[in-house]
Amino acid sequence: MNPRKSFSHLKEQERQARKEHIVAAAERVFASKPFHDVHIRDIAREAAISPALIYRYFPDQQALFVEAFLQNGARIIEVLDGLRLEDATGTQGLDRLVEGFINYLTENDLYFKMLVNFMLEGSLTPEMLERVKAQDRMIFDRFDIVFRKIRPDGSLRVLSHALFASLSGILISFRNYPDKTPEELKNYMKFLGRVIRDMIAAGIETIDVNSLHH
């Protein structure tokens, strides 16, 4: 290998490793406090580097949040694709989706806390928000696959939104419920997810999914 190319490759690896270190620190900080209370100096302190170094990679804390959000969102999409939802029949896909979603967010607690803090108090510039919304649509596309298997007509996105909101509510309500072990809580949240699954499956044929547009 050309020595210059080898050196350039090593420098790029070093740059990428430093960027990942900054993003990981940002995720921990965004998980620990309200979105608008996070500053670059907080992330620099967590990463044990100077704020000036962070600004070499990211213009502000919004850009850092979006980078962390998109990385985790990409992993969620990988998990959902690994469930092979398109191959499921009937409500089988709904079962896989509920369990896979709860598994991911219980096993990635920092991301879940960061997401909750943002949902409660966060706001982004229009450009940054569009990047987040574009990935959200990709996640909801996977949810739509499940509902299309059960009910091929109508506006399925509203059903995907309802399921996402229900599962998120379960996680917010019971993720750290007292007097239970993490495994007990995880099993209970999956049970509640199956309750939601059964409610949706039982009523899906009668739900007027287009009423919002009337």
pLDDT of residue 70: 92
Long-range contacts of 77-85 (CB under 8 A, 24+ apart): 77/135, 77/138, 77/139, 77/142, 79/103, 79/104, 80/139, 80/142, 81/142, 85/142, 85/145, 85/146
Q: Compute the average pLDDT of residues 91-108.
A: 90
**CATH class as words, domain 60-207:** mainly alpha
Distance of alpha carbon 28 from alpha carbon 21, whole angstroms: 11
Instruction: State the chain's mean pLDDT as an integer.
Output: 87
Residue keyed to tokens 């998980």: 31
pLDDT of residue 55: 95
Residues written for the chain: 214
Q: What is the CA radius of gyration of the chain?
A: 20
- Over residues 51-61, the pLDDT tens digits come to 999 999 999 99
Q: Compute the average pLDDT of residues 74-84.
A: 93
Whether 214 shows a pLDDT value over 60: the answer reads: no
User: Could you tell me the pTM of the whole model?
Assistant: 0.83
In the structure, how many helices (H) and strands (E) does the chain have? 9, 0
Torsion of CA 148, 153, 159, 163, to 10 degrees: -20
